[in-house]
């Protein structure tokens, strides 16, 4: 399954409904300002998932690879995980001051949910390797230390845009307005939490060479998720 805003939203919202089944009937509107009937939880999840999916597909991860020099090395798309997922949730709760049983459950959905679905729906595909032919590449936080800053910057732009695009979080409840200050104040915490986890992406990539050169080779190679 390809990573798209719609696919991420559907899966995370399903997780939310499984934990809060009564929320499926929630509806809000404001005819006076043009806010159409909507489910608030769905729209929040939709905006967050849209931003995370767009940013995640813009990022580049580096591996540390080794093997033989029978280049080019054709990468096999790889599954990946985010070992920093739980730490990101803990960070988000600490930053926002949310506390209590429901805070942890909600943060697990809003922060952990999009990360879980990126890993469930996506694959990491590296570029064709011009140094290592047959071999293995290891992607980890250790060789992607600059990714937190890059992802944070992108998310700080994408999150407000995606949430405004829902048309239900505008200042003074006007769809075309920037998002309201209460939600806007939380966005740095969302951005930082997501970015910290994205930078921990971990995967093992297999490269398949072609020419049979047995000389040892090592290097780095970039890739992205889709």
pLDDT digits (tens, 9 = 90+) for 75-98: 999 999 999 999 999 999 999 999
- What is this structure's pTM? 0.96
3-state SS, residue 130: coil
pLDDT at 226: 93
Cβ–Cβ contacts within 10 Å for residue 166, how many? 19
pLDDT at 142: 97
Total count of domains within the chain? 1
Asked if pLDDT for residue 47 goes beyond 80, the answer is: yes
How do 74-76 and 28-30 pair as beta strands?
Answer: unpaired
Asked if pLDDT for residue 26 goes beyond 90, the answer is: yes
Asked if pLDDT for residue 100 goes beyond 90, the answer is: no
Structural domain that includes position 79: 5-225
Asked if pLDDT for residue 125 goes beyond 80, the answer is: yes
State the average pLDDT for the chain.
97
pLDDT band with cut points at 50, 70 and 90 for residue 211: confident
Q: Which residues contact 95 (CB under 8 A, 6 or more apart)?
A: 188, 189, 192, 193
């Amino acid at each position: 399954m390809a990573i798209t805003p719609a696919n991420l939203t559907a899966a995370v919202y399903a997780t939310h409904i499984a934990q809060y089944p009564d929320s499926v009937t929630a509806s809000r509107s404001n005819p006076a300002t043009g806010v159409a009937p909507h489910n608030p939880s769905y729209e929040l999840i939709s905006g967050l998932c849209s931003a995370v999916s767009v940013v995640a597909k813009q990022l580049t991860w580096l591996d540390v690879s080794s093997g033989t020099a029978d280049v080019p090395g054709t990468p096999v798309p790889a599954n990946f995980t985010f070992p920093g997922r739980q730490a990101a949730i803990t960070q988000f709760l600490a930053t926002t001051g949310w506390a209590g049983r429901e805070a942890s459950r909600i943060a697990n959905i809003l922060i952990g949910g999009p990360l879980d679905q990126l890993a469930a729906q996506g694959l990491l595909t590296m570029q064709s390797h011009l140094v290592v032919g047959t071999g293995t590449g290891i992607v980890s936080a250790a060789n992607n230390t600059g990714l937190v800053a890059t992802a944070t910057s992108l998310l700080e732009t994408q999150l407000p845009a995606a949430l405004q695009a829902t048309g239900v979080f505008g200042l003074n409840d006007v769809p075309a307005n920037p998002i309201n200050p209460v939600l806007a104040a939380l966005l740095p915490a969302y951005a930082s939490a997501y970015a910290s986890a994205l930078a921990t992406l971990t995967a093992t990539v297999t490269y398949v060479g072609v020419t049979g050169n047995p000389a040892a080779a090592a290097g780095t190679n970039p890739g992205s998720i889709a």
